[in-house]
Amino acid sequence: MKDQIKEAATATEEDLSMLEVQLGRRPSGVLRVEAYCPAGHPQVIRYYPLSLSEEGKVLSPFPTLYWLTCRSVIRQVSEFESYGWIGKIEERISTDPDFRAAYHENHRQYARERWETLLPEHREAVIDRGWEKVYRETGIGGIRDWDFVKCLHLQFAHHAGASNVVGEFLQEEFSLQACKAESSSVG
């Protein structure tokens, strides 16, 4: 089964090598790079939503599809978190019905996409282990209460890899800057 995932993956050896430098370890379960920085290194990667052993045995749910890897963007988003922007965004979710509806739809789409990414035999294994609810009912990064924000990094990664109203807000409000080729070899 692990071979089927590797066949579906489009991340190149060069991508994986750059990710190893960015993350300090060689990641497993990477399906593809969803977005690159202008410097040419991965900014957002897409993971297979299930942890597997080297032999391909199902180990545990992995609810995160999109992962932010660019150090420059990670630093910027971390700064927003340190200034209390999670709370400010959660307040907007509670007071702006259109923003809330879009955010909830982002969670629904993420859960659908996470489930559909699983190979059919892995869906069966997830059901057999009683994890189906985790895949179908939790949102971005496995969050259960969709009126809250777990992490701005997850939101921005989802925005850069697909579409996310919180990530879009961050981009519009703060003009996040990706690495430039002259300033970073791997983020």
What does the domain layout of the chain look like in residue ranges? 2-174
Q: What is the Cα 91 distance to its own chain's centre?
A: 23
- Confidence bin at 184 (pLDDT 50/70/90): very low
- Confidence bin at 116 (pLDDT 50/70/90): very high
User: How many Cα atoms within 13 Å fall on the side-chain side of residue 160?
Assistant: 29
pLDDT per position as a tens digit, 26-53? 988 899 999 998 888 899 999 999 999 8
pLDDT per position as a tens digit, 143-154? 999 999 999 999
Beta partners for residue 184, in sequence order: none
Report pTM: 0.89
- Confidence bin at 18 (pLDDT 50/70/90): very high
Does residue 1 surpass a pLDDT of 70? Answer: no
Helix (H, G, I), strand (E, B) or coil at 161: helix
Beta partners for residue 163, in sequence order: none
User: H or E segment at 92?
Assistant: helix 85-95
